[in-house]
Amino acid sequence: MELLSESPFDPARERRLVIIADWLPPDFGAVGQYMELRARALAEQGHDVTLVGLSSTAASTMRQVRGKGTLTEIRLLAPPVPRDSLAGRLAWTLRTNLRLVAAAYASLRAANGVLFTGSPPFLIHFLAPLRFLWRAHLVYRITDFHPECLIAARDRPSGGLSMLLALTNFWRRRVDGFEVLGVDQRRRLAETGIPDDRITLVRDGSPVTFAGDPAPEPLPIELQGHCVLLYSGNFGVAHELDTVAEGYARHHRAGSGRVRLWLSATGQGAVELARRLTEEGIPFHASRPVPLEKLAGLLRSPDAHLVTLKDAFVGYVMPSKIYACVESGRPIVFVGSAESDVDLISREAGGVYWRVPCGDVAGFAAALEELADRREDSGVAAAKRDP
């Protein structure tokens, strides 16, 4: 899928760029994957790009000539994000943001343009207040909205988070420009008072290529012979869980049980879903996410892809996996709102697609039956062509 707009940076005017993100490949992280691709593309267009991010294995600095420009990658060794404590995550975020800004400081002073993301969270609080130290054009590529995601995850309001949101919106109004991943994010950002002429829609596109028609990765033995629905990537707090767990269980208890769920995923949602299905004795298969170089083959393996998003997170989170899932050519089952750009992108792609509203357990079970029927019909058609 192509980007829907041009880069906000002009090589003639903004030759020196700094991009700050979180986990860079080969570490698992969608934002880092996309930002590395973006940095390479900008370098080839004629920019001198410095990409600063994180590594779980080793600190390093690498410089190379790419096309008309150069790319310097600075990787900081960092521990994993502590998932079992909100205080621990906030402390990790504070330390990590300080380290990223410190590592990028010399490049920031010399830069004409700065592109930063929503990962790690709250980086805007470290960059926007320091605008007086550099003259660079500051562009915020919103991936996930923070603290809105923390607020959406809570059962009741928090005065502290409300104050943090007000401060965040104060700094957002002092950023030169924004890149959003979808129309739903544009709406959310406009609600905070950002003028439309400062918002640019730049979709991520797929981080993998299917050029050359890559062969599917072999299915695990437990899945062979079944209709396979794959959930790949991160399954976190923003992703709808209950509808999937209950609908999948209904499909096996009251339906045909022909579909097998494959979780090639990380995140607390994946752990919780696996726990619930295991306790209920519902068959599924779990595995770790594959390296980026094997992702195209993985996405060609199942009969369909599962994408989910809770209603409270629409416009605050964009499941970027949808681009690669669409380009894989496999059907999509989306559990989420019609207001999300996941629905928009899936419908515009024109492939086989089911959307199930959050909470519609019977609808999800019915979608699985239709998916299994489609697989069997395709098998019958293939048998008639090749007797």
Confidence at residue 386, expressed as pLDDT on a 0 to 100 scale: 52
Q: Give the pLDDT confidence of 161-203 residue by residue, as tens digits.
A: 999 999 999 999 999 999 999 999 999 999 999 999 999 998 8
SS3 of 268-305: HHHHHHHHHHHHHCCCEEEECCCCHHHHHHHHCCCCEE
Q: Are 100 and 123 in contact (CB under 8 A)?
A: yes
Q: Give the pLDDT confidence of 208-217 residue by residue, as tens digits.
A: 888 888 899 9
Confidence at residue 86, expressed as pLDDT on a 0 to 100 scale: 80
Confidence at residue 93, expressed as pLDDT on a 0 to 100 scale: 95
Q: Residues 26-50: what's their mean pLDDT?
A: 92
Give the Cα separation of 372 and 338 in Å (integer). 24
Confidence at residue 4, expressed as pLDDT on a 0 to 100 scale: 38
% of the chain at pLDDT higher than 90: 80
Q: Residues 319-344: what's their mean pLDDT?
A: 96
3-state secondary structure of 251: helix
Closest among 301, 280, 328, 306 to 226, alpha carbons compared? 301
Q: Are 117 and 94 in contact (CB under 8 A)?
A: no
How confident is the prediction for the chain on average, in pLDDT?
92
Confidence of residue 287 (pLDDT cuts 50, 70, 90): very high
Give the Cα separation of 10 and 137 in Å (integer). 11
Q: Taking 90 as the threshold, does the pLDDT of residue 228 lie above it?
A: yes
Confidence of residue 387 (pLDDT cuts 50, 70, 90): low
Closest among 240, 258, 228 to 366, alpha carbons compared? 258
Q: Give the pLDDT confidence of 241-263 residue by residue, as tens digits.
A: 999 999 999 999 999 999 999 99
Q: Give the pLDDT confidence of 149-159 residue by residue, as tens digits.
A: 999 998 888 99
Q: Rounded to whole angstroms, what are the CA distances from 26 to 192, 252, 275?
A: 35, 37, 28
Q: Give the pLDDT confidence of 69-116 residue by residue, as tens digits.
A: 999 999 999 999 987 788 898 999 999 999 999 999 999 999 999 999
Confidence at residue 84, expressed as pLDDT on a 0 to 100 scale: 79
Is the sign of the CA dihedral 10, 11, 13, 15 positive or negative? Answer: positive
Confidence at residue 97, expressed as pLDDT on a 0 to 100 scale: 97
Confidence at residue 383, expressed as pLDDT on a 0 to 100 scale: 47
3-state secondary structure of 63: strand
Domains plus CATH for the chain?
16-201 (3.40.50.2000), 221-385 (3.40.50.2000)
Whose structure tokens read 């020196």? 16
Confidence of residue 379 (pLDDT cuts 50, 70, 90): low
DSSP H helices, 86-218, are 86-110, 124-127, 148-152, 159-172, 183-191
Q: Taking 90 as the threshold, does the pLDDT of residue 124 lie above it?
A: yes
Confidence of residue 2 (pLDDT cuts 50, 70, 90): very low
Q: Are 134 and 39 in contact (CB under 8 A)?
A: no
Tokens for 13? 């005017």
